[in-house]
Each structure stands twice: as C-alpha cells, then as structure tokens.
Amino acid sequence: MAPLFMPSGAAAVSFRGYTLVTPVVSVGNVGQLTVDLIISTLGLPRVGYIHSDCLVPVVGNNPYATTLENSAEICTSSEVYASTDQKLAVLQIRSPIVQGKQRSFRQQLLSWIKESEFSRVVVLSSSYAHHRVDQQLVGTPLRYLATPALLSVVGDKFQTLKWKEMEKVPAFPGISEVEMELSVPGGGITKSLYADSCTEGIPLAVLLIFCSEGDNIPDALNLLNFLNEWIQLIEKTNDRQPMTQQQWKIPSSWQLLFGSGIPSALF
C-alpha cells in the first residue's frame, strides 16, 4: 500500500513533471544535511508530509525557522517541500526506518513516486570511506548511479560532467576472479532502492559521497555542489569554481547540530 501523502492545505497537490530530491538514511546523515541546505537556501514551503508506519515517529520544532513566530511550527519524520516555479519537490526524511520494514518502505516510496508522475528522482546518499577498494581511493569521493530509464532521458550528460560511476567490487573481498557486484556499505536502502527502480523503470539517479561519521557539513556541501552541477538549483557565479558555503543558506536548526554546548554551571 502506498504511503498517504497529506497536503498541508485544503487544495490538492500535483507533482506531475516535477523533479524529486530525497535523502536515504546513511552514514553521517549527509543526504539529510544536503536536503536541509536545499530547503533553507531556496526557501521552499512545506506542501505536505508522508504518512508511513515504516518510519520511526519524530516530532519537533520548525528546523528552518526564520522568525520567532514560525519557530513553533511542528515538523515530523517525513515532509515534502516544493517549488512550483522550479518544478522541484524535496522529501526530507528525519528518522530511520523501523527494523524489518525496509522493503515495505521502498515499495511505498516507489509507489508514491509512480503515482505522482515525477519526471526524475534524485537520491542523496553516502557510503563508508573505510570500505573503499583501491580504485576508489584516488580522486573524487563522489559517485553516481543511474537507472536505464534515466539514462534514456539524460543521454551522455554524466559523461559530459566527467562524473565517476559507482564501481562494482568483488563479491568476496580479496578474490579477483569472482563475480563483481554493487556494494554501498553504510548506505542504508540505497542499493536496494536503486535495484528496485531499475526493475520498475523509474528514472532515478543516486548521488553519493564516501565519508565517515563526524562533522559531515563539508560532505553535505560537497554533495550539494555535485547535485548543482547537474540540476541548477542556484546559478553558479563561476563555472570553474564550486559553490562556497556562503552561497548556501545554513538552516537555523544547525546551531544545535552538535548540542547546546557545555553548561557554565559545571565550572
């Protein structure tokens, strides 16, 4: 059964022809941090949320508050933000999938994607840096995957951008003469979501970065610049230089990203 999309207002919301950007819960939460930057920078309004029993329930204050008045607005575990002008929808997922319900959530998500008739889907993910094989240790930490349905639309766009496709690795590490397979350690449902999308003919791309747990803000900015090379969320001032942190708007909730500091009463 598809998850129930609940619009924020009384009017129905149509995503036909829109681009959908969504994170996958993965190492360092880089996908979610990247989506935070997109929503905050573009000032995307919330248009609804996804109701699914596959996600751990979460509730909190507005993470993108700009005034005292809107800071008290409630946010939940999975909300949808959209821009009519850019035909862009962003699904932010703020909680992990309930254990044992990964497959159900993938089915629900893909069912909603097909029903909504998105023109393309971009999944933002990450993978453990310490699991890289030799050929992944040199050069950029960024990789992509694209389904046949998307490649039939974008053609050689990724080759033009000189992006590196995620390499396949030996099914049994250390043994070269074995079957090669796709592996995304630390990537949550990334691999299975990509495989399902290939089977079901969904035009989907996975953009991911190799990283470790810690301060993952630089990784989020790196992944966002990677995305912006393909989908121009904001116009680059210099084609030869990546976007700087100052050109992306940091959400107010990031002030407490590493806690509220050490209480002065301890000293």
Structure tokens at 67: 């005034």
Note the pTM of the prediction, 2 decimals.
Answer: 0.90
Per-residue pLDDT tens over the stretch 10-60? 677 899 999 999 999 999 999 999 999 999 999 999 999 999 999 999 998
Place 205 in a pLDDT band, splitting at 50, 70 and 90. Answer: very high
- Are 37 and 111 within 8 A, CB to CB? no
Is 15 inside any structural domain?
Answer: no
What CATH number corresponds to the domain at position 205?
Answer: 3.40.50.10900
Is 9 inside any structural domain?
Answer: no
- Are 190 and 169 within 8 A, CB to CB? no
Is 44 inside any structural domain?
Answer: yes
- Are 154 and 236 within 8 A, CB to CB? no
Is 168 inside any structural domain?
Answer: yes
46-51 and 4-7 as β-strands: parallel, antiparallel, unpaired?
antiparallel
Domain of 161? Answer: 20-255
- Are 82 and 13 within 8 A, CB to CB? yes
- Gap between the Cα atoms of 122 and 136, Å rounded: 22
Is 178 inside any structural domain?
Answer: yes
Q: What is the pLDDT of residue 99?
A: 94
Q: What is the pLDDT of residue 17?
A: 95
Place 240 in a pLDDT band, splitting at 50, 70 and 90. Answer: low
pLDDT of residue 155 exceeding 80:
yes
Place 164 in a pLDDT band, splitting at 50, 70 and 90. Answer: very high
Is 266 inside any structural domain?
Answer: no
Structure tokens at 5: 């999309």
Is 13 inside any structural domain?
Answer: no
Number of domains in the chain: 1
